[in-house]
Amino acid sequence: DAGVTQSPTHLIKTRGQQVTLRCSPKSGHDTVSWYQQALGQGPQFIFQYYEEEERQRGNFPDRFSGHQYPNYSSELNVNALLLGDSALYLCASSFKGFFGTGAGDTQYFGPGTRLTVL
């Protein structure tokens, strides 16, 4: 049973550039959520995709956008990169637009993509 996968593992960009991160959800899951985790902090919710639409969004600017494909995989795009965008970007998958339905079903996280902006 394949878990959540993310690519690339690491990425180095310069200020002003654009970046695309990719995520494939756990087998059987149809919902993808993206999180940003700064050093020493807990993950912060960016947005969630379900049925190829953005369903919920956290407190992040429009420079952060995403997409979900029919096979449930997802992309996170960040434009006009700032130094403060340097972080670990996590993808989590779940089912039916929830963050977990209880009874043992919850979000499952990928290994993350470490983005460094110089």
Partner 1 sequence: LAKTTQPISMDSYEGQEVNITCSHNNIATNDYITWYQQFPSQGPRFIIQGYKTKVTNEVASLFIPADRKSSTLSLPRVSLSDTAVYYCLVGGSYIPTFGRGTSLIVHP
Query: Which DSSP string do the residues of 46-83 spell out, in sequence order?
Result: EEEEETTEEEEE-S--TTEEEEE-TTS-EEEEE-S--G
Contact status: 107 vs partner 1 (CB under 8 A): yes
50 vs 54: CA distance, rounded Å: 7
Helix (H) or strand (E) holding 115: strand 113-117
Footprint on residues 27-66 left by partner 1 (CB under 8 A): 35, 40-45, 48, 56, 58
Question: Nearest approach, Cβ of 90 to partner 1 (angstroms)?
Answer: 5
59 vs 37: CA distance, rounded Å: 14
Footprint on residues 62-91 left by partner 1 (CB under 8 A): 88, 90-91
Question: Nearest approach, Cβ of 13 to partner 1 (angstroms)?
Answer: 18
DSSP label at 117? E
Q: Which is nearer to partner 1, 14 or 56 (CB)?
A: 56
Q: Interface residues with partner 1 (CB under 8 A)?
A: 4, 35, 40-45, 48, 56, 58, 88, 90-92, 98-102, 104, 106-112, 114
